[in-house]
Structure 1
Amino acid sequence: MKTKEVATKYQISADTLRYWEREGAIPPVRRDAAGYRDYDEEDLDWVSFAKCMRDAGVSVEYLIEYIELFKQGNTTLQARKDLLREQMDTIAKRLAEIQETYDKIQNKVAHYETHVENYHGKLSV
């Protein structure tokens, strides 16, 4: 699959894909005889992982560190697990903050629903 197709599939720019590869946030992608990137299933898995992590707010630097550990093989399994757990903890905190904000907004909406239901006059336009 070519860069443009991958970019469309994952709703990211081709520049982002090239940047991730250049910086090491995804492993190098094989190139065809003409020098164009040709993404295989494993490459797509890495792109999917990187996009998921970036969408969750994980830094490119973290992805680079993770890829570097991955390249070193199974001796880094615990280190990779630790990195992922650290990210899970960070994301869990953000989820709790988002839930708190959601709850506040939900309470405000309920407050206004009560006022709108009790309003007997015409709503101003």
Structure 2
Amino acid sequence: MAEITTRLSIGQVAERTGLSVHALRFYESEGLFLAPVRRGAGGRRVYGEDDVDWLTVCIILRASGMPLPVLRRYADLVREGGGNEEQRLALMREHQAHVTAQIGRLTESLDLIRHKVAVYEDFVDQGSAVARPCHAPPSQA
């Protein structure tokens, strides 16, 4: 285990990552850190830059919709070290496919929202007091 050169408190890590102190404790209890969280004087948690870097990866993966069990599996693989890169690749490819599908669904949603905005902007610009139905954007065919 690498020696920590920067000693950060749980509050400092919370501030730097945007996670709450509660979330940091939760991540620790869920086994998401790569190394056990170190303790300083009085048993207080002490973090290093490596912990902040890893948390940044976790935050991005969670924001992309990666479920906690998958993130935990990924952390386990990383913690194990080299030799399991094929498993890590498979995990990331599966998540990449999930995120790509999610982007597709969001793009469809955004197209509908843009259409609705344009329709309502026209209504407002024309001073229309009576909204006419507009349920779907015109077909792209």
TM band (smaller chain)? 0.7 to 0.9
CA contact (8 A) 2:17 2:52 kept: no
Aligned counterpart, 1:86: 94
Structure 1 position 73 matched with structure 2 position 118: no
CA positional deviation for 1:24: 0.9
Match of 2:41, SS? coil
Q: Find the partner of 2:127 among 97, 119, 124.
A: 119
Q: Find the partner of 2:31 among 17, 24, 39.
A: 24
Structure 1 position 109 matched with structure 2 position 117: yes
Runs of 5+ consecutive residues of structure 2 not aligned to the other structure: 1-7, 130-141
Counterpart-to-counterpart distance in 1, 2:94 and 2:86: 12
Which is worse superposed, 40-49 or 21-30?
Answer: 21-30
Structural RMSD (CA)? 1.6
Q: Hey, which bits of structure 1, 4+ residues long, moved more than 4 A?
A: none
CA contact (8 A) 1:26 1:50 kept: no
Tell me the amino acid that sits aligned with residue 9 of structure 1: R
**Identical-pair percentage:** 32
- How high is the TM-score relative to the length of structure 2? 0.78
CA positional deviation for 1:34: 2.5
- How high is the TM-score relative to the length of structure 1? 0.88
**Closer/same/farther in 2, CA of residues 23 and 120 from structure 1, 3 Å limit:** closer
Counterpart-to-counterpart distance in 2, 1:108 and 1:18: 43
CA contact (8 A) 1:26 1:63 kept: no
Aligned counterpart, 1:15: 22
Runs of 5+ consecutive residues of structure 1 not aligned to the other structure: none
Q: Across the two proteins, how many residue pairs are aligned to each other? A: 121
Which is worse superposed, 28-37 or 93-102?
Answer: 28-37
